[in-house]
Amino acid sequence: MTTTYTVTGMTCGHCVSSVKEEVGEVAGVTGVDVDLTTGLVTVQSESPIDPARIAAAVAEAGYEVVAPS
């Protein structure tokens, strides 16, 4: 299953790495792809994951989820 989120505040490769690391640690996440240009974070998982858990992981990295896409 794939879910895409829009994240604001990312400006560099370090931002991308931080978001990937934090979201990747959420239980159930099997893959994370971050596009710095668009701010899109695509999360792969075997089953649905509560969007609040993804938003919390993004916040832990220092950024904000605008809304699931």
**Per residue in 21-46, pLDDT tens?**
999 999 999 999 999 999 999 999 99
> Are the C-beta atoms of residues 22 and 57 closer than 8 Å to each other?
yes
User: What is this structure's pTM?
Assistant: 0.92
Q: Is the pLDDT of residue 69 over 80?
A: no
Bin 64: left if φ > 0, else alpha if -120 < ψ < 50, else beta.
Answer: beta
Helices and strands, number each (H, E), in the chain: 2, 4
Residue 39 CA from chain centroid, whole number:
9
Please report the pLDDT score of residue 68 as a whole number. 56
